[in-house]
Amino acid sequence: MMKLKRNIAISENGFLFNPETGDSFLLNPIATEIVNFLREGNDVADVKQLLFDRYEVDVVTLEKNIEDFLEMLQHHELLDR
Amino acid sequence: MKKIKYHIAVTGLNNTDNPGPGIPVIRGLRESKDFDVRIIGLAYENLEPGIYMPDMVDKTYQIPYPSSGMDKLINRIEYIHSKERLDVIIPNFDAELYTFIQAKERLQNIGIHTFLPTMDQFEERQKANLSQYGEKYGVKVPFSKVITHRRDIEQLKDSFEYPLLVKGKFYDAYLAYSAEQVNSFFNRISAKWGMPVIIQEFIRGTEVNVIALGDGLGNTIGAVPMRKQYITDKGKAWGGITIQNEKMLELTRNLIRKTKWQGGMELELIKTNKNEYFLIEINPRIPAWVYLAVAAGQNLPEALVKLAMGMKLQPFSSYEVGKMFIRYSYDLIGDIAQFGSLSVSGEM
């Protein structure tokens, strides 16, 4: 299961700080929402469902975008392997 | 209760774009909760900015360059001691450490304490010995070779891939993409810092640093890891942030345990994208970004003075993650009379 690293800090306005590497990132509102869902302990399937319920989006677009975003999180060492 | 007052001499007042650690060390000392200080600045040049900064140095004395010999330097220190009754000296330049380490006993005999690495500790971590050092203490280090002559440059292609780093024995490092570039950097570095010149494998990754203080018995009294956020063209950190990194701390504690390191140190590490850490350099003194550690909760200059005065200390157990420092430049206004006083009498 993909999990956000425990010590990742994120502010309300989408500023994310990785205390392990010192990297910081600015997230847009949807990305902030996804990261917050992950922080709350939701798995990827839950996150997809939550976004699907909340936004007008087709499944294919949603899945592709989420996968891309997760890959980006992985690339920046924000996920536990 | 009245706090005890220590008279502490500090070098490295060059708060320039290649900053010395003197001023941040003094800021830490002045924030000590356990002792008061009278700070004696020791300056090599009349225009070291720290001399002119308000509320930092109580009095400044010029001292001769280490290259003029130990006796000359110690004679000058003895004179300063006769005026100021020094308790501790904190030397902050790599180039002067050799002399101060050598002079440890002479200083001790007249009542001046230092807290420096031993000569063996100092020598074995020299850049030129990094490969053996890594092997001896089980730390990953980049492959490196020492060269003393231009004719060695042609052969480098047998053992290195370009780009590679060309480094001076004390300071300076340049990335070279060809033998021609190595040649030019070799000339520049050897003219400035002398021989040998160090050729080092270039490890791709992020540069991270740890400041640490060893008690000389194998214990790490404090350690704070930092990631540079803004680097000057001289490779100096102009901004940085404390990070939470157990791997870096473990590496530091291990090294201090094995070497029984005494004094302040800075580990320069490269973190690769495979999450490996390569030790590229050990600076055998407190680095110029020490005030970040103070702000994050570890007053290492204060702890160093306590150790120098023979006190036993409990190690720091934590620090604040996400503390940042940003350097800035600022025009101090001085008066020609100050400059004149330092130039004529060597004191101000």
How far apart CA A22 and CA B313 sit, in angstroms, is 30
How far apart CA B63 and CA B77 sit, in angstroms, is 8
pLDDT band, residue A81 (cuts 50/70/90) = low
Mutate to test the interface with B, among A21, A23, A25, A76 (most CBs of B within 10 A): A21
Q: Do B243 and A17 touch (CB under 8 A)?
A: no
Mutate to test the interface with A, among B206, B241, B270, B320 (most CBs of A within 10 A): B241
Find tokens 């020598």 and name the residue. Answer: B123
- In what helix (H) or strand (E) does residue B131 lie, and over which residues does it extend? helix B130-137
- Residue A7 with chain B: CB contacts under 8 Å: 244
Looking at this predicted complex, what is its ipTM?
0.80
- Residue A5 with chain B: CB contacts under 8 Å: none
Which residue of chain A comes nearest to B207, CA vs CA?
A21
Q: Name the 3-class secondary structure at A34.
A: helix
- For position B241, what pLDDT does the model report? 97
Classify domain A3-80 at the CATH topology level: Arc Repressor Mutant, subunit A (1.10.10)
- CA-based nearest distance B183→chain A, Å: 36
Domain ranges of chain A: 3-80
- For position A80, what pLDDT does the model report? 85
Please give the structure tokens belonging to residue B172: 């300076």
Crossing angle between the packed helical segments B70-84 and B94-102, to the nearest 10 degrees: 80
Residues 6+ apart with CB under 8 A from B80: B9, B40, B42, B61, B63, B86
Which residue of chain A comes nearest to B229, CA vs CA?
A22
| pLDDT tens-place string over residues A4-56 | 898 898 999 999 999 999 999 999 999 999 999 999 989 999 999 999 999 99
Q: Do A9 and B229 touch (CB under 8 A)?
A: no
- Other Cβ atoms less than 10 A from the Cβ of A43: the count is 12
- Residue B208 with chain A: CB contacts under 8 Å: 22
| pLDDT tens-place string over residues B115-149 | 999 999 999 998 888 889 999 999 999 999 889 88
Interface A-B, measured as beta-carbon pairs within 8 A, has a size of: 22
Positions of chain B with pLDDT under 50: none
- CA-based nearest distance A18→chain B, Å: 8
Tell me which DSSP letter residue B329 carries. Answer: -
- For position B253, what pLDDT does the model report? 97
Q: Do A19 and B243 touch (CB under 8 A)?
A: yes
- Among B181, B221, B180, which Cα is nearest to B316's? B221
Q: Do B243 and A7 touch (CB under 8 A)?
A: no
How far apart CA B130 and CA B114 sit, in angstroms, is 26
Q: Do A21 and B243 touch (CB under 8 A)?
A: yes
CB-based contacts of A13-17 (< 8 A; 24+ apart in sequence) = A16/A78, A17/B322
- In what helix (H) or strand (E) does residue B254 lie, and over which residues does it extend? helix B246-259
Report all structural domains of chain B as residue ranges with CATH numbers, in order of start. Answer: 4-114+331-345 (3.40.50.20), 143-201 (3.30.1490.20), 204-326 (3.30.470.20)
How far apart CA B97 and CA B117 sit, in angstroms, is 9
